[in-house]
Amino acid sequence: MLERIAGRDAHALADLYDRYAGVSLALAGRILGDRSEAEDVLQIVFTRVWQDAGRYDPSKGSATAWLLSWIRNGAIDRLRRREASHRAALHTADAAGAAAIPDDDVALDASQEREKLARAVAGLPADQRQVIELAYFEGLTQTQIAQKLGEPVGTAKTRMRLGMNKWRQALPVLSGEAH
C-alpha cells in the first residue's frame, strides 16, 4: 500500500486512512488527552505519509509500526510544544508581576508556593538540580539531558530519581506539614 502511495495513488492513501485512522486517533488521543489535537496530529501525519511514503523501509519494521511511530512522535511533539507554550505563558505572567490577580491573598499564596518550590530545588545537589531544571523548565527528555550533559542516560535517570525523591521529601518540611 505504501508503494502505491509513493506512486501518488490517492485511493491507496484513502485505504490506509480507513484502515488505521481509528487506532491512530486512539493513540494520539491517549497521549494528548484532547481529541481535537489528536485529529490535527492525524492530518499532519497522513500528509507526511503522502509526501514521504517512499522513505518506508520494510527491512526496519512493518508498515503499521512505521505509521504508528509517526503518530506517536507527532503526538509527543505536539504535547511538548503545548507544555513549552504553557510554561512560557506562566513565565510571562510571573514576569509581569501577575498584575491581573484580583485577590491579594491568592497572589501571596502563589508567591509563597513558588518560593517553597524554589527553596526545595535550590536545596538539591547541583547535579540533581540541573537534570530536574532541564526536564521541567526546558522540557528535555532524559536522553536529551544525557546528551546535553555528555553523560550516560542511566546517570541522568539516576540523578532525576534521586533529585525527585529529595525534592518530594523537602516539600512537606518547607510547608510545615511534616511532623
Q: Report d(CA 37, CA 79) in Å as an integer.
A: 9
pLDDT per residue, tens digit, the chain (179 aa), is 899 999 999 999 999 999 999 999 998 888 888 899 999 999 999 999 999 999 888 888 888 889 999 999 999 988 888 777 766 666 665 555 545 545 555 555 556 666 776 777 778 899 998 888 787 666 678 888 999 999 999 999 999 889 888 877 776 655 455 44
DSSP per residue, 115-129? HHHHHHHHTS-HHHH
User: What proportions of the chain, in percent to the nearest 5, are helix, strand and coil?
Assistant: 80, 0, 20
